[in-house]
Structure formats: structure tokens, C-alpha cells
Homo-oligomer: A and B are copies of this chain.
Amino acid sequence: MSTDPDTLSATLSALADPTRRAILARLSQGSATVNELAEPFAMSLPAVSRHLKVLESAGLISRGREAQWRPCRLETAPLQQVDGWLGTYRRFWDGSFDRMEAYLQELTAPRAQGKKQ
């Protein structure tokens, strides 16, 4: 899995669309053909194909070799890269940040009180 920031940008950009995220959600249930993917969206096949191209170039899906069906399959490596990137921010909401903030306030409080006096 590449850690090139542009790979991450391409992934995030591809994910920044509700239809493309819905396609990934469908593929998380199993592989599907373009026709199967188009059905629930009441969308033209060319429109779905355009979304699939964006997902494919971001590495979020791969497509089968069979010329007629070319089933689409979810590829999770780019999502895992997003997950890794988010990891550095997770401390802000998993509780460890509150503890760190309390600690920092404790450290800086005496100086702030000194200024007021």
C-alpha cells in the first residue's frame, strides 16, 4: 500500500460523492456487475460507468477480466490508508485528548494565575 499523499488525495476525492460511496457499500456485500450496480440508483449505465472509472483509478474497486460481465469488486487497501491517516486524530475523540488537555491545563495554570495577580 502506497503512502504517497497523492494516493490518499485521490482516494478521498473519489469518496467525496454519495453515489460512489453507495456503490462501495453495495460492493461490500459482494461483487456485482455494472447492471446490478445501476439498478438501485435509477441511473444510466454510462453514468454508473463514469463513477466506476473514478473508483477504479483510485484503486477502490477492481474489475474482472470477462469482457461481457466484468464484475466489480471492492478493494479495501485505500480505505485502510484513510483509516491509518485518521488514526492520528482519533485521540481527539477517544478520550485520551481530554486527559491530555487536563494535563496541559494543569501545567499552564500556575503561570496564568501568576499573570492575574
Residues of chain A having any CB pair with chain B under 8 Å = 5-6, 8-13, 15-18, 21, 24-25, 28, 74, 76, 79-80, 82-83, 85-86, 88-90, 92-93
Report whether A25 and B88 are in contact in the complex, using a CB–CB cutoff of 8 Å: yes
Residues of chain B contacted by A10 (CB below 8 angstroms): 16
Which residue of B is nearest A13, CB measured? Answer: B16
Name the one of B18, B76, B90 contacting A93, with C-beta atoms under 8 angstroms.
B76
Residues of chain B contacted by A80 (CB below 8 angstroms): 92-93
Report whether B83 and A79 are in contact in the complex, using a CB–CB cutoff of 8 Å: no
Given the known A-B contacts A5-B18, A5-B21, A9-B18, are A86 and B88 also in contact in the complex, defined by CB atoms under 8 Å? Answer: no
